[in-house]
Structure 1
Amino acid sequence: MPKIGMEQVRRQQLIDATIDVVADVGLRGATINLISKKAGMSSGIISHYFGGKQALIEASVRFLLSKLKLETSPESPVGRLMKIVDLNFSNLQQADSCTKTWLCFWGESMHDNSLYRLQEVNKKRLVSNLRYSFKQLMPAERAAEEAEITAALIDGFWLRCALSRYNESKFDEAKRHIKNYINAVLENYSKHE
């Protein structure tokens, strides 16, 4: 009889193994055998828990996306804006295995409809969260514009840092630039209000 709670533990082990394998060999090279071997399980367990490789890949991407959600929302709109930046540049999002997995995911999402939908959800959620906070500090039209710009800065800086082969100081510097941009926008808006 299986132990209670083991399914969730095994599912997470398979997700962690998938992220590591994708980082090593890419999405196309990540076979069920490589993933199950990395997780220390039989290859049949992937079908049992996920139904197949594609569902496991999607679950792994959803896991990474879940780490970008605001667990607890800071009281102030500025605090929320800064927390969003922090989440996108967290240690997990900087980890070599995660950066490589994200890069593979973004590239493959151009050819795979289910991964494309996940990317669209991620993009819309980021802009929506930023817009929500900016809207509390400025008119809706301006807030929407600043949300789009800030999201592009987050994605662009993260991509540049990831492609520079994991360099923690570059990620920290990028995070600082984005936060400085947000502060400058808010300061400039309050001066001209």
Structure 2
Amino acid sequence: MPKVGMEPLRRKALIDAALSAIGERGSLDVTMSEIASRAGVSSALAHHYFGAKAELLQATMQHLLAELNADARHALSRAGSPRERVSAIIAVNFSAKQFRPETIAAWLAFYVEAQKSPTLRRLLRIYARRLHSNLMSGLANLLPRHEAQQSAETIAALIDGFYIRCALKQGEPDARSAIAQVTDYVALKLAQAGASTCRTQS
């Protein structure tokens, strides 16, 4: 039987091991025994905590979402202006904690698996709604509502696109370049909106 008080530590170790295994394999085609071995526990103990592999994969996805959400909330709490809120969310998605090879590979694997897993698809929808809401918390004060909605969708697509492109090529993720390119889009969109406002007023 597992030791009293060890469950949170063991569960976290198994989730970290799952991320590592998925990142190395590039897919969700990993076994519970492989994950348990990486976590330094027995396969039986892994099953005791999570039951089947699907439950561990769901917990791993939820862990990624929880970390990203916590980082986003912290970043937004420190942002002042609406523009800073948008920049903060972009930066969070490409932070050293989030935009690393194993996490990038895990996100791509979950996207692929979500095509046939309703549970993972639901979790990805939660991620998409949160990202959209966080971006709108700044964009809604910078652009007309319809344009803000469209811009939030475009920024989200750019973020997801950089993750996919990075997962499909070798080398270290270039977070600085990704942030710069997404920020360039925001600057261009806001400049266009400003020019349009000036023409309307003249």
TM-score after normalising by structure 1: 0.89
> Displacement of 1:165 after TM fit?
1.9
**Which structure 1 residue ranges, 5 or more long, are not aligned?**
none
Pair 1:192 & 2:199 matched: no
> Displacement of 1:171 after TM fit?
3.0
Letter in 1 for 2:192: N
> Alpha-carbon deviations, 1:77-119, whole Å to 9, x = none?
1111111111111123322211221111111111111111111
> Displacement of 1:10 after TM fit?
1.3
- Distance in 2 separating the partners of 1:108 and 1:166: 24
> Alpha-carbon deviations, 1:10-35, whole Å to 9, x = none?
11101000011112335453111111
Equivalent residue, structure 2, for 1:33: 33
Q: Matched residues, percent identical?
A: 34
**Contact 2:22 / 2:30 at 8 angstroms: preserved in 1?**
yes
TM-score after normalising by structure 2: 0.86
> Displacement of 1:136 after TM fit?
1.4
Pair 1:126 & 2:128 matched: no
- Which aligned runs of 4 or more in structure 1 are off by greater than 4 angstroms? none
Partner of 2:142: helix, strand, or coil? coil
- Distance in 1 separating the partners of 2:24 and 2:169: 17
Match of 1:71 among 70, 73, 76: 73
Equivalent residue, structure 1, for 2:150: 145
Partner of 2:68: helix, strand, or coil? coil
> Alpha-carbon deviations, 1:52-85, whole Å to 9, x = none?
2111101111111223221321222111111111
> Displacement of 1:167 after TM fit?
2.6
**Which structure 2 residue ranges, 5 or more long, are not aligned?**
198-202
